Amino acid sequence: MIKINLDVMMIKRNLGLMELAEQMNITPANLSILKNNKGRAIRFTTLDAACKALMCQPGDILEYIEYDEESETNEQ
């Protein structure tokens, strides 16, 4: 599973959702979807805009977490 850590980087850079959305030129609703890990995909142009606005590398935003189907089933 890929986790998006936009919230962590936003805190580190002291940027709010509206300000970051404006800098990235996307809607606050779409940024919120990414920030809350509800998105199913991210375009490279969006990732590029996030890295530029947050002055970071893609690895600062994206994190791989090993998916364990068995534990996912037990949690439900």
Q: Quote the pLDDT of residue 67.
A: 79
Beta strand ranges found along the chain (DSSP E): 2-4, 62-64
Query: Which one-letter amino acid corresponds to residue 10?
Result: M
Q: Quote the pLDDT of residue 15.
A: 96
Residue spans of the domains in the chain: they are 2-65
Q: Quote the pLDDT of residue 74.
A: 52
Fold that domain 2-65 belongs to in CATH: 434 Repressor (Amino-terminal Domain) (1.10.260)
- Residue 8 reports pLDDT greater than 80: yes
Q: What is the token pair recorded at 30?
A: 């779409």
Q: Quote the pLDDT of residue 71.
A: 52
Q: Which residues, 6+ apart, have CB-to-CB distance to 47 below 8 Å?
A: 58, 61, 62
| pLDDT tens figures, 10-61 | 999 999 999 999 999 999 999 999 999 999 999 999 999 999 999 999 999 9
Query: Which one-letter amino acid corresponds to residue 13?
Result: R
Q: Which residues, 6+ apart, have CB-to-CB distance to 45 below 8 Å?
A: none
Q: pTM (2 decimals)?
A: 0.82
